[in-house]
A and B are shown apart, each in its own frame.
Chain A
């Protein structure tokens, strides 16, 4: 199954109940207009965090089951992610569901683009009948922690990819308490993979050449990180689209790394 779902196909098949669009934009944006029959996913529901932590964790299996049950999803559904603002938040949703082995696709264009094309939208909020969604698949090897990353810093079989901006990578600005990067990381700013004209990703040929030019090769294990694991998710999906089959995210990312004692930081 292709990761990207052709928006022109979806437009013609909105009544196919097998496909359920999950909209991760803000509630205000969703309430204003959304794809008919799509379901709003509150961002907080796919994360696990407390006021005292500086990072976000992936929601637990039980949290995801509860969310999908409230959204009326059944186990035969194919989930289609819809987002905006470049698609980083939507990518985090994609990664979260893919981690639990769920069948997920990504709408190839942003909601703004969908609107601008005059494709069907509504402000009607459908009543949803709850389901009883149970995750039966095994978790996939898509997530690592700081200890794993530390063990890979000098491993020639692994590549650490910092998906933040060059300014953050070089320690000029910080989106958290400390500036700098994880040693030996390569910088691949996530926006580089964002497509033109409302497309969430560049085409596969372009993505492949960008990754190869950056020294991110398919024979290595790729570990993506950013500040809190959102931008890294976009790069994760882009790599998956290109057929990289050993890609992981350090989801707590630099927000976690930079607040732990004795972990090396380069700038």
Chain B
């Protein structure tokens, strides 16, 4: 089971907002905390990991939890 410290529901959002809002939210977390991001915009499942990794964050998992709905767990490694 994933450690969960904060959930971010971005269902309904399209490019570039899922990435921008995820990056913004990660800045509010302490190092080591995990952000659970929910999206239903497929390109975001590639864009979000790609964007947060460059900031040193760790993508713990990314999976489709419902038809067309994805959850991405990101550990904040960089504040």
- In the assembly, what is the distance between CA of A173 and CA of B15, in Å? 12
In the bound complex, do residue B46 and residue A49 qualify as a contact, i.e. CB atoms below 8 Å apart? Answer: yes
Name the distance in Å between A47's Cβ and chain B's nearest Cβ: 7
In the bound complex, do residue B46 and residue A255 qualify as a contact, i.e. CB atoms below 8 Å apart? Answer: yes
Q: Which residues does chain A contribute within 8 Å of B67, judged by CB atoms?
A: 26-28, 42
Whether A77 sits at the interface, judged by CB under 8 Å, is no
**With A165-B16, A228-B15 given, is the CB distance from A174 to B42 under 8 Å?**
no
Chain B interface residue count, Cβ-Cβ cutoff 8 angstroms: 21
In the bound complex, do residue A55 and residue B46 qualify as a contact, i.e. CB atoms below 8 Å apart? Answer: yes
Kindly count the residue-residue contacts between A and B in the assembled complex, taking CB atoms under 8 Å apart.
71
Instruction: Name the CB-closest residue of B to A43.
Output: B42
In the bound complex, do residue A177 and residue B50 qualify as a contact, i.e. CB atoms below 8 Å apart? Answer: yes
In the bound complex, do residue B42 and residue A47 qualify as a contact, i.e. CB atoms below 8 Å apart? Answer: yes
- In the assembly, what is the distance between CA of A26 and CA of B9, in Å? 15
Whether A44 sits at the interface, judged by CB under 8 Å, is yes
Interface digits, B43-79 against A, CB 8 Å rule (1 contact, 0 not)?
1001100110110000000000011110000000000
Interface 9-residue window, one of A84-92, A119-127, A212-220: A84-92
**Given A43-B42, A230-B15, 17 extra CB contacts under 8 A:** A26-B69, A28-B69, A42-B67, A42-B68, A53-B46, A88-B15, A164-B16, A173-B20, A173-B23, A174-B19, A174-B51, A176-B19, A177-B53, A178-B54, A227-B47, A228-B46, A230-B43
